[in-house]
């Protein structure tokens, strides 16, 4: 696990956490952070996916505001700092920065099939990547604001898997229904709702961690990305 520097389309030097696959040559995966920066939870997630056979690259999407952000969501002040950083981030610029990570894999000879996976804010950005970039597949864990993002008609986009928490305070029931109905319009956008689960159910050690649901989501994610 180390930090490398990506060069974005506008010449910005973007730090990114790089974790080689634990099983040799790994399947390329762009991992997309929550609003808390590349903190302990994101490093743990990167290592977990590397153990599954992925080569992981996790760009520091807050680096344009403040590099090296590492926040603890259990601390109210740090939680609010994460919200402020998210609000100060240009999502369109973030997608182009994430695409620099996809392009890095291609330039390194890893092939054209690069997947993306994100949590929370990253879950929204993963869907944006599926819609706008040449990523081969995307996985969204409890993405926020998808009801405003998903198209109202079938479009050409990468296959995209949605993991949705039934009790997600950031995704009310009406929004969830909109997400499900719009996902159903696409050719390959399976959406799973995890009963009794709240936002961030797959973050180990988090307030709403649900081991059974996290495992089910992991199995579904692996089957989807290996298809």
E strand map for 13-126:
13-19, 27-32, 54-59, 115-119
* DSSP H/E element including 177: helix 173-183
Set 18, 97, 99, 199: catalytic member: 199
Asked about 199 being catalytic, the answer comes back as: yes
Start-to-end Cα distance in the chain: 27
Q: SS3 of 5, please?
A: strand
Set 60, 97, 168, 198: catalytic member: 168
The span from the CA of 155 to the CA of 196, in Å, is 32
Q: Given 3-state DSSP classes, what are the helix, strand and coil percentages for the chain, each rounded to the nearest 5?
A: 35, 20, 40
Q: Which residues contact 224 (CB under 8 A, 6 or more apart)?
A: 137, 139, 159, 161, 190
Residue 157 · residue 131 · CB < 8 Å? yes
Asked about 168 being catalytic, the answer comes back as: yes
The span from the CA of 38 to the CA of 67, in Å, is 10
Report the half-sphere exposure of 201 (CA within 13 A, side-chain side). Answer: 28
Give the residue numbers annotated as catalytic, written as ranges: 168, 199
């Amino acid at each position: 696990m180390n930090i490398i520097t990506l060069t974005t389309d506008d010449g910005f030097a973007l730090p990114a956490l790089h974790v080689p696959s634990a099983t040799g040559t790994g399947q390329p995966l762009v991992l997309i952070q929550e609003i808390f920066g590349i903190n302990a939870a994101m490093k743990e997630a990167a290592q977990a996916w590397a153990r599954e056979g992925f080569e992981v690259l996790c760009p520091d999407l807050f680096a344009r505001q403040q590099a090296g952000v590492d926040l603890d969501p259990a601390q109210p002040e740090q939680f609010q700092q994460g919200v402020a950083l998210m609000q100060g981030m240009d999502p369109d610029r973030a997608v182009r920065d994430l695409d620099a990570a996809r392009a890095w894999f291609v330039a390194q000879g890893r092939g054209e099939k690069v997947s993306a996976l994100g949590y929370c804010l990253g879950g929204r950005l993963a869907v944006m990547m599926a819609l706008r970039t040449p990523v081969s597949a995307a996985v969204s864990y409890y993405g926020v604001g998808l009801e405003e993002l998903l198209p109202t008609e079938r479009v050409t986009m990468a296959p995209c898997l949605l993991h949705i928490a039934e009790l997600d305070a950031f995704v009310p029931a009406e929004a969830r229904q909109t997400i499900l109905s719009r996902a159903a319009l696409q050719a390959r956008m399976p959406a799973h709702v995890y009963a009794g689960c709240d936002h961030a159910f797959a973050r180990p050690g988090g307030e709403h961690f649900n081991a059974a649901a996290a495992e089910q989501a992991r199995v579904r994610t692996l089957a989807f990305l290996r298809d």
